[in-house]
Amino acid sequence: MKVLVCVKDVPDASAPKRIDPQTFRLDRSVPGALNDFDTHALEEALRVGAQEGDGEVVAVLMGPPKAADSLRKALAVGADRAVHVADDALAGSDLVATSRALAKAIEREKPELILFGQQAADSDGAVLSAAVADRLRLPVISQAASLELADGKAKVKRQTEYGYDVIEAPLPCVVAVSDAINEPRYPSLKGIMGAKKKPQDSVTTADLGVDPEEVGETGSRTEVYAVGEPPPRGESRRIEDNGNAAEAILEYLSEKKLI
């Protein structure tokens, strides 16, 4: 069975993150990394792909040229093929524009299962899966804490504000997985070496039949007017553990009369 995974390249966790005061966009010139949340989607794709025998796992990423590193990591971990949706016209895409381009890229692949991560670490939206599903007119189940495939259906346990729902949908469908669904594997040395030989397509808006005016900044429907400071939160103290952190915490609690 063919499983498609949407993965994003986000600023590395240790990179300084900032909004460019000129463009009001996230500064993407800092080192990037494969979105951690998507490693769980990838792992799940490999698991169900393998379970179905001759499965194929295709990783799809929309992002600037340098995001190809994250796609390569997906290949190193085990994806069979990668599709990079890359085009200058896509820069500055919001949800409406991103979902339009990704949906077109997914349509071309005709997968039986489309997996998303829980959220992109740089946007915290957890919204793209439902938007893409609407464009594809496919059922969507988000926040999957577990996923089972049987009889051409996906069965998902999903946490909501009230506990756990169990939801089922026929394939093909879109599922966004929680970061607790599995323990993602690390790429092996062999995987890293082999990644270079795996097929990697780069596709443009023209290839996808997407009107460049309908994506990127012109195709986006939201905008940012200003970047400001968050409300200040009192004083905060930071310590590094040199073996006496426990003592320092106790002292702090005593000082604050919390003990």
Partner 1 sequence: MATLVYVEDHEGEPVKGSLGVLSKAAKLGDDVVAVLCGSGVEGLGEQVGKYGAARVLVADDPALEAPLPQPRVDVLAKLVESEGFDTVLFGASVLTADVAAGLAARLDAGLNWDLIDLEERDGKLVGKRPALQDSVLLDVGWKSEPRLALIRSGTFEPVESGGTAEVAKVPVEVEDWSKQAVMLERAHEESEGPSIEDAEVIVAGGRGLGKPENFSLVEGLAKALGGAVAATRAVVDAGWYPYASQVGQTGKTVAPKLYIACGISGAIQHKVGMQNSGTIVAINKDPNAPIFEYSDLGVVGDVHEIVPKLTELVRAKRAT
Ligand X SMILES: Cc1cc2nc3c(=O)[nH]c(=O)nc-3n(C[C@H](O)[C@H](O)[C@H](O)COP(=O)(O)OP(=O)(O)OC[C@H]3O[C@@H](n4cnc5c(N)ncnc54)[C@H](O)[C@@H]3O)c2cc1C
Query: Within 56-115, which residues bind ligand AMP (CB under 6 A)?
Result: 60-63, 98, 102
| 91 lies in the binding site for partner 1 (CB under 8 A) | no
Closest CA to 15 of 32, 1, 3, 2: 32
CB of 150 to ligand AMP, least distance (A): 24
- Whole-Å CA distances, 252 to 189, 234, 241, 258: 46, 15, 14, 9
**Count of alpha carbons within 13 angstroms of residue 231, beta-carbon side:** 0
What residues contact residue 245 under an 8 Å CB cut-off, 6+ apart?
Answer: 239
| 177/180 Cα distance (integer angstroms) | 8
Report which secondary-structure segment, H or E, holds 148. Answer: strand 140-150
| 209/189 Cα distance (integer angstroms) | 38
| 6 lies in the binding site for ligand AMP (CB under 6 A) | yes
The residue among 99 and 142 lying less far from ligand X, judged by its C-beta, is: 142
| 233 lies in the binding site for partner 1 (CB under 8 A) | yes
Among 93, 98, 118, 182, binds ligand X (CB under 6 A): 118
| 93 lies in the binding site for ligand X (CB under 6 A) | no
| 116 lies in the binding site for ligand AMP (CB under 6 A) | yes
| 39 lies in the binding site for ligand X (CB under 6 A) | no
Among 70, 98, 99, 119, binds ligand X (CB under 6 A): 119
Report which secondary-structure segment, H or E, holds 1. Answer: none
| 135/104 Cα distance (integer angstroms) | 9
| 126 lies in the binding site for ligand X (CB under 6 A) | yes
| 205 lies in the binding site for partner 1 (CB under 8 A) | no
| 128 lies in the binding site for ligand AMP (CB under 6 A) | yes
- In residues, how long is the chain? 259
Residues that bind ligand AMP (CB under 6 A): 6-8, 35, 37-38, 41, 60-63, 98, 102, 116-117, 119-120, 123-128
Residues that bind ligand X (CB under 6 A): 118-119, 126, 179
